[in-house]
Structure 1
Amino acid sequence: MSPVLTQTTTIRPITDNDLDTIVDLNQDALEGVGPLDRAKAAELVAMADQALVMEDDGDIAGFVITLPPGVDYDSSRYHWFDGYFDTDDYVYLDRIVVSADHRRKGVASRLYEAIERDKPIGLEVYDHNDGSLAFHTGRGFREVGVLAENGLVNVMMVRLPA
């Protein structure tokens, strides 16, 4: 795989045809995200505010899923932000995953650029994921709390619109 992205990169909505690939990518990245099966992936995409893949030369290089407030999502991390924000005008970044072959090539940055709008974004990062914490801090996210559960410590982070 080349060290840079090709000239044929595209960001587009996730389709049913992408679900098997995004599940595989997700399962290869469990150090930073929770597990996902095809049914759960389809459910997340259906309730998503934004569900995007980035293709590089026909291969899915990464994906991102954000959720609006008020959806029926069984996640304590998602519901934590209901208590944090005093508005319904924000999005929760449920997961962003970049394929192993495309890491450190700007895929995550491009996906973030596609979802960053005039709304606050809430997300969590495992406290042991130093690379992700540094990445998010560099993008303007700040720590606003901690949620410990199931033996994991989640650093709750928010980025406000510029």
Structure 2
Amino acid sequence: MQMTEAFATTAAAVAPVIVLVAVVEMRIYGTRTRDVGLTEARLIEESTQALLAARTEEERNAVITGARRSGVTPTAIASLALSAGWVVVTILLALAEYSSLAFLATETPSPSPVAARRILLSIMLGMFMLIITPLTRWCRDYFHPMFRVFASSHRYWKARKAIRNE
């Protein structure tokens, strides 16, 4: 693989489009991750205050049980991972854009297989992120309600069993 004028021109045209999508996606996932983080921080602060205010062992156990239900969710982890992935891809694509434009700006460019592979890898990672992002959203939107149904059913049957055993 060699760096050619046609390859550099195509890469210089494609990379900014993927970067534009990356910026939009980082903003979406950044906002979602920030909101989840603020919510979790608030829940931890409230649990800590409730634990300090609890006077009996029953009250403490109730606070601890409620605190266990809160925490970082798989959705928050996915949002953070996708945000980090978009940051990496954006940096790589910016470097690919620079390499392409530097190649095109040189009067007598020398074909560089390393630069061509680096640009190709950057664009392929960008394309991967373009595919994985909506797929992740679909999985979250489709499977998350089903998991909530299963969890609610489990809690229901557990509570029913506890009531029968009393």
TM-score by length of 1: 0.23
Of Structure 1 and Structure 2, which has the larger fraction of its residues in helix? Answer: 2
TM-score by length of 2: 0.22
Structure number with greater Rg is: 2
Of Structure 1 and Structure 2, which has the larger fraction of its residues in strand? Answer: 1
